[in-house]
């Protein structure tokens, strides 16, 4: 009955948010175990149990003039479920701890919980527990539990692997940029932010197909590629020209005067997957993936010996920055 997590402590990429996590891990010392992956992993009979917790705070992660309450719940649950997708795990349930202003009605509470429940229902994860409190703003902490025969951590990428991303990137950021300047986002961009789809089917498919490493793009490719490189002890070479950008990202990138690929790579919270797949995985396999999972899969680079993230755009090296959820009130 002693704790026996499967995963060791993984290295994180650069960033102030991750300096904080490193400091906390140092302070915890032996009181922590297996930190740094998308999920905590525990042995559980046949298979491995994967657990992850994710907090969404009003005015930090979302604003109520942007989202309806059911979308607040959906987004919070989808963000947590996305960590199970990144592990190649099948969700089994969610625990939802909800902090609401004292002025919230029973209908308000039910709307947030129903939104979370709806996101879970699309991937087989009922609400199996929770907690309620009042507080100065809305805050939702969703803890997800799932199972994988062989979890895919961030640590297994090998030189020679191809790097692939699901879906398109930059949609959530396009919505954010529109809201920030007081506009209404385009409907696809809004949906990318308000109702992201956890890539559970895609994650399980890629895990079964032998993905060496995987994570979900919550900090943006610029931040998350650094985590995968650090955890695996490899260098990642990114060909940003190949990056699949969301349609609505083009106009927003134009307003900011930056290339759309950079806009997409530095936008957070797309909740797509970044996977290191064996070298022999090719375009034909990606077509099968797309047919079976209903989402695109694009090759965006490769794994090499070394360290760090090396991105190229239009023949020039580009230093990508990540997305700091902690420091960035929006």
**Is 284 in contact with 217 (CB distance < 8 Å)?**
no
Nearest to 40 by CA among 87, 93, 95, 92: 87
Which one of 143-151, 152-160, 172-180, 279-287 is the stretch in contact with its own copies (CB under 8 A)?
A: 143-151
Task: Give whichever of 131 and 183 is closer to its own copies, judged by the CB atom.
Answer: 131
Distance CA 168, CA 211 (A): 20
Distance CA 147, CA 117 (A): 19
Task: Give whichever of 262 and 325 is closer to its own copies, judged by the CB atom.
Answer: 325
CB of 192 to its own copies, least distance (A): 21
Among 69, 78, 143, 167, binds its own copies (CB under 8 A): 143
**Is 125 in contact with 198 (CB distance < 8 Å)?**
no
Task: Give whichever of 91 and 301 is closer to its own copies, judged by the CB atom.
Answer: 91
208 binds its own copies (CB under 8 A): no
Which one of 110-118, 230-238, 282-290, 310-318 is the stretch in contact with its own copies (CB under 8 A)?
A: 110-118
Residue 140, H or E segment: strand 139-148
CB of 327 to its own copies, least distance (A): 7
What is the DSSP track for 4-25? --SS-PPP--SSHHHHHHHHHH
103 binds its own copies (CB under 8 A): no
| Distance set, CA 261 to CA 123, 126, 319 (Å) | 30, 37, 13
150 binds its own copies (CB under 8 A): no
Q: Which of residues 112-141 bind its own copies (CB under 8 A)?
A: 113-114, 117-118, 120-121, 124-137, 139, 141
254 binds its own copies (CB under 8 A): no
Nearest to 297 by CA among 280, 277, 315: 277
217 binds its own copies (CB under 8 A): no
Q: Which of residues 27-86 bind its own copies (CB under 8 A)?
A: 27-28, 30-35, 39-40, 42-46, 49, 51-57, 59-61
What is the DSSP track for 216-267? E-SSHHHHHHHHHHHHHT-EEEEEGGG--B-TTHHHHHHHHTS-HHHHHHT-
CB of 133 to its own copies, least distance (A): 5
Output the six-digit token pair for 231: 């955890």
Task: Give whichever of 30 and 316 is closer to its own copies, judged by the CB atom.
Answer: 30
Task: Give whichever of 69 and 264 is closer to its own copies, judged by the CB atom.
Answer: 69
């Amino acid at each position: 009955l002693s704790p026996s997590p499967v995963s060791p402590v993984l290295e994180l990429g650069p960033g102030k948010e991750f300096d904080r996590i490193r400091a906390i891990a140092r302070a915890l010392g032996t009181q922590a175990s297996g930190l740094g992956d998308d999920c905590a992993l525990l042995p559980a009979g046949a298979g491995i149990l994967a657990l992850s917790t994710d907090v969404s705070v009003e005015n930090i992660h979302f604003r109520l003039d942007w989202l309806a309450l059911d979308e607040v719940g959906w987004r919070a649950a989808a963000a947590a479920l996305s960590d199970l997708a990144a592990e190649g795990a099948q969700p089994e349930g969610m625990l939802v701890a909800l902090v609401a202003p004292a002025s919230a009605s029973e209908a308000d509470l039910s709307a947030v919980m129903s939104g979370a429940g709806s996101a879970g229902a699309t991937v087989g994860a009922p609400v199996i527990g929770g907690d309620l409190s009042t507080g100065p703003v809305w805050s939702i902490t969703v803890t997800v539990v799932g199972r994988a025969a062989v979890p895919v951590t961030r640590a297994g990428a090998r030189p020679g692997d191809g790097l692939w991303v699901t879906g398109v990137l930059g949609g959530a950021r396009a919505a954010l940029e529109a809201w920030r300047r007081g506009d209404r986002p385009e409907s696809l961009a809004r949906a990318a932010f308000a109702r992201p789809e956890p890539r559970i089917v895609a994650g399980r498919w890629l895990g079964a197909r032998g993905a060496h490493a995987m994570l979900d793009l919550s900090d943006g490719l610029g931040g998350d590629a650094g985590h995968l490189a650090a955890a695996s002890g490899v260098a990642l070479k990114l060909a940003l020209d190949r990056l699949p950008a969301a349609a609505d990202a083009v106009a927003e990138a134009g307003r900011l005067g930056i290339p759309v690929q950079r806009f997409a790579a530095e936008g957070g919270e797309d909740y797509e997957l970044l996977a290191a797949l064996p070298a022999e995985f090719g375009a034909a396999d990606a077509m099968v993936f797309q047919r079976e999972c209903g989402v695109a899969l694009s090759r965006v680079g490769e794994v090499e010996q070394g360290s760090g993230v090396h991105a190229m755009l239009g023949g020039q090296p580009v230093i990508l920055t990540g997305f700091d959820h902690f420091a960035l009130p929006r």
